[in-house]
């Protein structure tokens, strides 16, 4: 695989992380006002923290900062939590549906983190 392809994949993953974060920040204010339960408030805070971690992680990766890995990994954990908590607390889904959502969210976050962070598999 050429280094150009790795860079292109990295940029695509970074754009996806930002694209996931922007609507979350925009929606946070409205969600906070509409939240009626403690769970809904917690999900809203986790969602905002996820966006902030994602933005910081993207900035760190672009700049080559040493804190890129912790920021992207924090984003991955927080987006997995959001994927699991939001359907249960906001959508009224069952616990099983929320767990399935968290698993799929975690898989997607892992793939994006692997594309963004340099490793033996992605030496960009």
pLDDT in tens, 54-67: 999 999 998 889 99
Name which residue leads in pLDDT, 2 or 70.
70
Predicted TM-score of the model (pTM)? 0.88
What are the residue ranges spanned by the domains of the chain? Answer: 3-116
Q: Could you tell me the pLDDT band of residue 101, with boundaries at 50, 70 and 90?
A: very high
The gap from C-alpha 85 to its chain's centroid, in whole angstroms, comes to 13
Percent share of the chain, pLDDT over 70: 90
pLDDT of 121 > 70? The answer is: no
Would you say 50 and 72 are in contact if contact means Cβ atoms under 8 Å apart?
no
Cβ contacts of 56 within 8 Å, gap of 6 or more: 71
Section 5-34 average pLDDT? 88
Average pLDDT rounded to a whole number, residues 7-20: 91
Alpha helices in the chain (DSSP H): 3-34, 38-63, 68-89, 95-116
Token pair belonging to 78: 């927080």
pLDDT number for residue 8: 85
120 has a pLDDT exceeding 70: no
111 closest CA partner among 2, 3, 20: 20
């Amino acid at each position: 695989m050429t280094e150009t392809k790795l860079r292109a994949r990295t940029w695509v993953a970074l754009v996806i992380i930002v694209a996931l974060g922007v609507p979350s920040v925009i929606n946070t204010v409205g969600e906070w006002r509409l939240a009626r339960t403690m769970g809904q408030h917690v999900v809203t805070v986790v969602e905002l923290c996820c966006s902030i971690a994602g933005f910081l992680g993207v900035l760190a990766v672009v700049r080559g900062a040493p804190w890129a890995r912790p920021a992207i990994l924090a984003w991955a954990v927080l987006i997995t939590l959001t994927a699991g908590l939001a359907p249960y607390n906001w959508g009224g889904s069952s616990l099983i549906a929320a767990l399935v959502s968290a698993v799929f969210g975690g898989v997607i976050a892992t793939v994006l983190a692997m594309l963004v962070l340099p490793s033996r598999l992605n030496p960009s």
